[in-house]
Amino acid sequence: MTETLRIRAGRLLDVVAGEELRDRLVTVREDRIESVDAFDGGTVDLDLSNHTVLPGLIDCHAHLIGELESGHGYAEVVTRSAAQEAMSGVRNARDTITRPGSPAFGTWGRSGRSSTSRSETRSRPATCSDRA
């Protein structure tokens, strides 16, 4: 059975048109945005009427260099060599992409090669860009 999710968005940023739309209904089917329409007054599964919804935008911000929570703040960053930062960056990138469920990089095996198939890639969370 196909599951449909109805989401009411108070404001929605249409990243394709570059417009802010108000009081919209986002219909998601099988983890894909099926439609974005004016809210029809019907029941919803998720009420975000007091929020702004940003479909299609992915937070790709990451800090790969440096040591996590070392307690030394920026002092450690400026006292470490470029080689040290590169080594911690490699480790941090590896830890990021091997984290279970990492949507940006798929599922990685011990070989370091992606085991994500084309069909698995298409099952990522819904975004506006998937509508095109």
- pLDDT, tens digit only, all 132 positions of the chain: 578 999 999 999 988 888 999 999 999 998 788 999 999 999 999 999 999 998 877 767 777 777 766 666 677 777 888 898 888 888 888 887 777 655 554 444 434 444 443 333 333 344 444 443
Q: Where in the chain is the domain with CATH 2.30.40.10?
A: 4-58+125-131
Q: 4-58+125-131 is classed in which CATH architecture?
A: Roll (2.30)
Q: What is the pLDDT of residue 7?
A: 95
* β partners of residue 8: 25, 47
* β partners of residue 52: 11
Q: What is the pLDDT of residue 88?
A: 86
